[in-house]
A and B are shown apart, each in its own frame.
Chain A
Amino acid sequence: MTENDISERLQQQQLITDSVTAFARRELSPAALRSGAVSRERWQGLAELGLMGMMIPEDTGGLGLRIGDLVPALEALGRPLLREPLVASAVFAGTLLSKTASTEKGAELLARLAEGALLPAVAWQEEYRLEASHAGTMLAASGEGRILTGRKILVVPGTDIDGLLVLAGTGGGKALVWLEPQAKGLRIESGTAADGGAIATVHFDKVPVDTADILSVDAGDLFDEALQTTTIAACAEMLGLICGAIDMTMDYLRTRKQFNRTIGSFQGLQHRAADLFIQQELSAAAIARAVADFEATTDAKGRAIAASRAKARVSSAALIVTKEAIQMHGGIGYTDEHEIGLYLKRALTLSAWLGNAGEHRARFAQLTMGVAA
């Protein structure tokens, strides 16, 4: 990259971050999390900010920015608890579509996504454990065509979607398949995540797959890279959540009075507040390192280490911070009417999604220390 490219990139990043921050102030509030529903109008608004197209390569009509450029914007949206599945649909599905945009279908879907006219979900996980193979769903030949059989869990978002990107085994490798919700033999069983959002278990009962909808039959590597990109993006959103929860809690400590004093003047709380600030700064440092490593490396192992170091830290920090936030609010923090609880629920959801702190620490150990006994 030349210096010109870098400064152009920084300018674009700054422009998007500024407009996203303004949008977040204007359009978002934590309370919106309660409704559970995704707003198509807001989805469109996010697309108009350029967020859907940010990571789409320039030759396919996007801005060609990288994950690091997205971090400040995601942080700004995470702060007021963005309800819309920007990371799940725009980053995860968007990255997969960018990487398969050489197919006619991929290009078409990507264009719709960039316009804000597509809300896709990625169906990849089959067990709760991150390290499972997730390869039981099979794409198999059947007569003239092919059919998909199996089951996926924890599909985000789990309702009101325009289609699914399904990761399926082919016997030899992995395929990426596009399915629309009304496909024959497809059953979407909606459930609810801790934060009130919809997640789904999806059943495939000999679903016929059109050849044009097979985006890749060699999707293993591109999928891993997209998953790791998404993992770092989820961390950036969680960092915003951490900052938001700390802000709200510090406001409370500065105003709530007991024993004729603002409770924030008590050293017992002050020291714990300082520890929360440390968690916030560690999370930012972990993400910065992960982004730098992710962008500097070209090998799959390096990318996996980068994603795991971020998710291990930030998942843990998000829970530490939001649990303490509840404690510092006292009884009111445990009521559904106070917004601080929404931060805890969102933290529970995002910290477990794509692998929790323990799973990522284990993977980090595996990748950096060699195989265990």
Chain B
Amino acid sequence: MSAAKQQDWNALSDEDFRSVVREFFTTHYPEELRYSPSRRRLSEMRGWYDTLSQHGWVAPAWPAEYGGMGLEPGKLVIFIEEQEAHGVARVPDHGIVMVGPLLIQQGSDDQRKRYLPKILSGEEIWCQGYSEPNAGSDLASLRTEAVLDGDEFVVNGQKTWSTLAQDGTHMFMLVRTDKQARKQEGISFLLVDMKTPGITVRPMRTLSGHEEFCEVFFDNVRVPKENIVGEINKGWGVAKALLSFERLFLGSPKLAQSALARLSTLAVLAGRDRDLVFRDRFAALQLDVDDLNGLYRRFTAQVRSGEKLGPDVSILKIWGTETFARIGDLIVETAGGAGMVDGPSAFGNETFDVLSNFYNARPSTIYGGTNEIQRNIIAGNVLNLPSA
């Protein structure tokens, strides 16, 4: 291990740590990848992944004993804030953000030894297999099944919306292992090597024209029994443990903030920045973003002080993504005729892609639990309204 990997980051003062992180991104992060409007593929991010790996910075949240930076919550928030301020794009990070912490908490020693180092080195890239064509918001109704046959599970079924599965070497997935049990109780959490025979990955093109996620088909795929995480039929609890941090992450103001900056640029290009009607609407959105920031800080402060996040964190995801969507709408409206153009339009000497924010806003209110599901959570668990 290099000296950098053994550093006790938590011993630094917050200010010192912030400047170390800022310095790191400024020095190492490729300029052309800053403030990326859409999700980057592995091929584009490989160099950055390697840089992170060499410096021991791949996994800020993992404990140091497993090769992470071991940041305590307050330091982690600073890390994320600096990452966002610098416009650092996500590497394919399901392994880092989801699989790693999960195995550290609930995996076996063998699983930790087998998988964690290769996430840190970037040799293995993980994708998620949760949703199915008939199990979306009602995820617990999933039907992809795993039947034990000797020392192996035989998996049959179909997963969908697997983000960047075409780049994944491994998938963590939810499978049904007991058809008799109540919905949530017959589900297990399984780790699968994507090279196993019987797996077919079909990328899906989105409305934005990118191939961001895939359908994955399983046809008699044989998976070693020891690849189950936690106990058999207890996978729902394993998966749920990952959710509240995801809601905070999905409610980050960065999407809305960068969209607002683009709107501001467009307003000047389109000659609308002095227009009173435009200004009123821009000011309203600016306040929406500012108040989103306020909420986000409140929740991150909660994490920082070691408190558990409550169900009210759902308001972040709703307000963040819907503000993002309203900004996308005003971008299209402000662009006038350029709103019909696919790809960049010319404004004088500059170009501006009018529809990218608009397209990106569409899935944001759907993924990570649709905003309707988030509202159900607030109604039921925050406002204590009775269930239907």
Given A264-B386, A278-B318, A361:B379 Cβ within 8 A: no
B385 A286 Cβ-Cβ under 8 A: no
The residues of A that contact B383 with a CB separation of less than 8 Å are: 250, 270, 273-274, 277
B219 within 8 A of A: no
Q: Separation in Å of the A291 CB from the closest CB of chain B?
A: 11
Query: Binary interface profile of B, 299-325, with partner A (CB < 8 Å = 1, else 0)?
Result: 000000000000010010011000000
Residues in A351-373 with C-beta less than 8 Å from chain B? 358, 361-362, 364-365, 368-369, 372-373
Q: Report the bound CA distance from A273 to B314 in whole Å.
A: 14
The chain A residue with its CB closest to the CB of B322 is A278
B375 within 8 A of A: yes
A275 within 8 A of B: yes
Q: Separation in Å of the A96 CB from the closest CB of chain B?
A: 28
A369 B312 Cβ-Cβ under 8 A: no
Q: Report the bound CA distance from A271 to B276 in whole Å.
A: 33
The residues of B that contact A373 with a CB separation of less than 8 Å are: 274-276
The residues of A that contact B274 with a CB separation of less than 8 Å are: 372-373
Residues in A268-286 with C-beta less than 8 Å from chain B? 269-271, 273-275, 277-278, 281-282, 285-286
The residues of A that contact B388 with a CB separation of less than 8 Å are: 265-267
Given A270-B375, A361-B280, A368-B286, A277:B315 Cβ within 8 A: yes
Q: Report the bound CA distance from A281 to B274 in whole Å.
A: 32
B295 A265 Cβ-Cβ under 8 A: no
Q: Report the bound CA distance from A271 to B379 in whole Å.
A: 7
Q: Separation in Å of the B217 CB from the closest CB of chain A?
A: 34
Q: Report the bound CA distance from A273 to B379 in whole Å.
A: 7
Q: Report the bound CA distance from A262 to B384 in whole Å.
A: 12
Given A265-B388, A267-B376, A369:B282 Cβ within 8 A: yes
A365 B280 Cβ-Cβ under 8 A: yes
The residues of B that contact A262 with a CB separation of less than 8 Å are: 386
A312 within 8 A of B: yes
Number of interface residues of B (CB under 8 A): 35
B287 A313 Cβ-Cβ under 8 A: yes
A309 within 8 A of B: yes
B342 within 8 A of A: no
Q: Report the bound CA distance from A362 to B276 in whole Å.
A: 9
Residue of B291, B294, B386 near A254 (CB, 8 A) is: B386
The CB with the most chain A CB atoms within 10 A, among B275, B295, B312, is that of B295
Q: Report the bound CA distance from A273 to B318 in whole Å.
A: 13
Given A264-B385, A264-B386, A277:B279 Cβ within 8 A: no
Residue of A264, A266, A270, A364 near B287 (CB, 8 A) is: A364
Secondary structure dominating the interface of A: helix
Q: Report the bound CA distance from A253 to B376 in whole Å.
A: 15
B179 within 8 A of A: no
Q: Report the bound CA distance from A312 to B374 in whole Å.
A: 26
A358 B280 Cβ-Cβ under 8 A: yes
The residues of B that contact A369 with a CB separation of less than 8 Å are: 273, 279, 282-283
Given A271-B379, A373-B274, A285:B291 Cβ within 8 A: yes
Q: Report the bound CA distance from A357 to B293 in whole Å.
A: 20
A289 within 8 A of B: yes
Q: Report the bound CA distance from A264 to B287 in whole Å.
A: 31
A288 within 8 A of B: yes
Query: Binary interface profile of B, 258-279, with partner A (CB < 8 Å = 1, else 0)?
Result: 0000000000000001111001
B291 A289 Cβ-Cβ under 8 A: yes
The residues of A that contact B380 with a CB separation of less than 8 Å are: 270
A288 B379 Cβ-Cβ under 8 A: no
B387 within 8 A of A: yes
The chain A residue with its CB closest to the CB of B374 is A274
B287 A286 Cβ-Cβ under 8 A: yes
Residue of A271, A289, A312 near B372 (CB, 8 A) is: A271
Q: Report the bound CA distance from A266 to B388 in whole Å.
A: 6
Q: Report the bound CA distance from A281 to B313 in whole Å.
A: 11
Q: Separation in Å of the A311 CB from the closest CB of chain B?
A: 11
Q: Report the bound CA distance from A269 to B276 in whole Å.
A: 35
Q: Report the bound CA distance from A72 to B375 in whole Å.
A: 27
The residues of A that contact B382 with a CB separation of less than 8 Å are: 274, 277
The residues of B that contact A288 with a CB separation of less than 8 Å are: 294, 298
B8 within 8 A of A: no
Q: Report the bound CA distance from A254 to B388 in whole Å.
A: 12
The chain B residue with its CB closest to the CB of A317 is B291
A281 B312 Cβ-Cβ under 8 A: yes
The residues of A that contact B80 with a CB separation of less than 8 Å are: none
Q: Separation in Å of the A30 CB from the closest CB of chain B?
A: 20
Q: Report the bound CA distance from A271 to B376 in whole Å.
A: 7
The CB with the most chain A CB atoms within 10 A, among B378, B382, B384, is that of B378
The CB with the most chain B CB atoms within 10 A, among A254, A269, A285, is that of A285
B20 within 8 A of A: no
B290 within 8 A of A: yes
B284 within 8 A of A: yes
A285 B294 Cβ-Cβ under 8 A: yes
B318 A274 Cβ-Cβ under 8 A: yes
Residue of B287, B295, B319, B387 near A312 (CB, 8 A) is: B287
The residues of A that contact B379 with a CB separation of less than 8 Å are: 264, 267, 270-271, 273-274
Give me 16 A-to-B residue pairs in the complex whose CB atoms sit less than 8 angstroms apart, sorted by A's number: A250-B384, A250-B385, A264-B385, A265-B388, A270-B376, A270-B379, A271-B372, A274-B315, A274-B375, A275-B375, A285-B291, A288-B294, A365-B280, A368-B283, A368-B286, A369-B279
10 additional contacts (CB under 8 A) given A273-B385, A312-B283, A312-B284: A265-B385, A273-B378, A274-B315, A274-B374, A274-B379, A278-B315, A289-B290, A309-B290, A361-B287, A362-B279
Report which A residues bind B (CB closer than 8 A). Answer: 250, 253-254, 262, 264-267, 269-271, 273-275, 277-278, 281-282, 285-286, 288-289, 309, 312-313, 358, 361-362, 364-365, 368-369, 372-373
Lowest 7 CB-CB distances: which A-B pairs, in order? Answer: A285-B294, A270-B379, A373-B274, A274-B378, A365-B283, A274-B375, A264-B385
